[in-house]
Structure 1
Amino acid sequence: MRRARLDRVWWLVTPGNPLKDTGRLPSMAERMDNARQLARHPRMIVTDLEARLRTRYTIDLIRRLTRMRPNVRFVLVIGADNWATIHRWGDWREIVETVPVVVVDRPGASLKALNSPAARTFARYRIDASDAACIASLKPPAWVFLTGRRSPLSSTELRRNRRDTRTGTESPAAESAV
């Protein structure tokens, strides 16, 4: 948020990733509650907007939001692990051509992300991390790769840690998070 000079970040708790098995996901209410506990910043808003708008794919949400709020400059913030596989998303090129993208480095995903089909396709639209503060004002396509302190935890690991905390057992992921 700070480096990209974003006014706020919407933490989208999705109904479920179409590319993953969602059968064992906790309820939306539980995932919303968990995200709120992690998002301890007044300008970070945890929302179930995708479920409420009934959008299944990111591009559908982006289309709706840009129509509903044409004067808002939306920016997609995703992890490097997602940037590495965004070419598998529905209408992925349109996503990158509609909103600027901030790619946040993730452990083990740097090389895959920077050599991904999306990174190669949009290589000439990548801006230097030192210019990240202007990303929201750029006409898409535009993307930036941000590095910094990284957490190895995924949403799956965070849910596992929460379960382990409730049952009183300790998990290796919980130890690495300390």
Structure 2
Amino acid sequence: MTRKFPYARQGQVVGLLGGSFDPAHAGHVHITKEALKRFGLDRVWWLVSVGNPLKEHGPAPLERRLQAARQVMCDPRVEVTDIETHLGTRYTAQTLDALRLRYPGVRFVWLMGADNLAQFHHWQDWQGILATTPVGVLARPGDRISARTSPAAKIYDFARLKGRQSQLLGRSDAPAWSFVNIPMLSVSSSEIRKRGEWQRD
């Protein structure tokens, strides 16, 4: 039986990768391992969401996505969880607030792709997220320019850790963020669905 809430001890740095994971694939595994290495993280939790408020169509059933994600992600430092379901949160800002209350002394880092940074200013309480939580951004081909010129990147340019400073992100106080370019695998959840390899129902 899977725990409702993953374990973390005081002083640990936990990266949080949220998404629908519809389905999880090798690209998610790749960016997770890069994040562990590049941002000085001890662990990463995949936050498999009930549904993305910014997406029009709902994903496959949660249990199915969790099971598939656990088959794909086989690393003892990474835990696949539906913690947002048990916290009763839907938006990232709410989730981060709830996690800080539940895990005092644990340092959290929000992880996202560069495509998310490009539209981060549309997220609920996005400035509150940056003010309270270090953010690690992993660049994918084609998303770098729009991400670096986004409102969030411009407003918080003063808080960006550059180059090898990215290793300090997990121990940095917010606001702090880092943008790293990494080689990406040419796979996406939408492509997998388009090829008929994953059915939502």
TM-score of the superposed pair, with normalisation by structure 2: 0.77
Give the structure 1 partner of residue 181 of structure 2: 147
1:60 to 2:94 alignment: yes
Cα-to-partner distance string for 1:47-82 (whole Å, 9 max, x where unaligned): 111122121100000000111112001000111111
Q: Provide the C-alpha distance between the structure 1 equivalents of 2:85 and 2:193, rounded to a whole number of angstroms.
A: 20
Does the 8 Å contact 1:125/1:141 carry over to 2? Answer: yes
Q: Secondary structure at the match of 1:15?
A: coil
Among residues 55, 79, 87, which one is paired with 2:113 in the alignment? Answer: 79
Q: Secondary structure at the match of 2:128?
A: helix
- Please tell me the residue identity of whatever aligns with 2:169: I
Q: Provide the C-alpha distance between the structure 1 equivalents of 2:83 and 2:75, rounded to a whole number of angstroms.
A: 19
State the Cα distance separating 1:26 from its structure 2 match.
Answer: 0.7
Give the structure 1 partner of residue 152 of structure 2: 118
State the Cα distance separating 1:157 from its structure 2 match.
Answer: 2.7
- Please tell me the residue identity of whatever aligns with 1:42: P
- In our comparison, the structure showing a higher alpha carbon Rg is 1
Structure 1 vs Structure 2 CA RMSD: 1.6
1:164 to 2:188 alignment: no
State the percentage of identical aligned residues: 41
Structure 2: runs of 5+ lacking an equivalent: 1-35
State the Cα distance separating 1:21 from its structure 2 match.
Answer: 1.5
Among residues 26, 35, 57, which one is paired with 1:22 in the alignment? Answer: 57
Structure with a larger share of its residues in helix: 1
Give the structure 1 partner of residue 27 of structure 2: none
Structure 1: runs of 5+ lacking an equivalent: 167-178
Among residues 61, 64, 68, which one is paired with 1:34 in the alignment? Answer: 68
Number of corresponding residues: 164
- Please tell me the residue identity of whatever aligns with 2:158: R
Q: Provide the C-alpha distance between the structure 2 equivalents of 1:100 and 1:22, rounded to a whole number of angstroms.
A: 30
Structure 1 segments of 4+ aligned residues over 3 angstroms from their partners: 158-161
Judge which range, 145-154 or 54-63, deviates more: 145-154
Structure with a larger share of its residues in strand: 2
Does the 8 Å contact 1:6/1:136 carry over to 2? Answer: yes
Give the structure 2 partner of residue 11 of structure 1: 46
Cα-to-partner distance string for 1:63-110 (whole Å, 9 max, x where unaligned): 001111120010001111111111000000000111100000112111
Give the structure 1 partner of residue 168 of structure 2: 134
Relative contact order higher in (CA < 8 Å, ≥ 6 apart): 2
State the Cα distance separating 1:155 from its structure 2 match.
Answer: 2.7
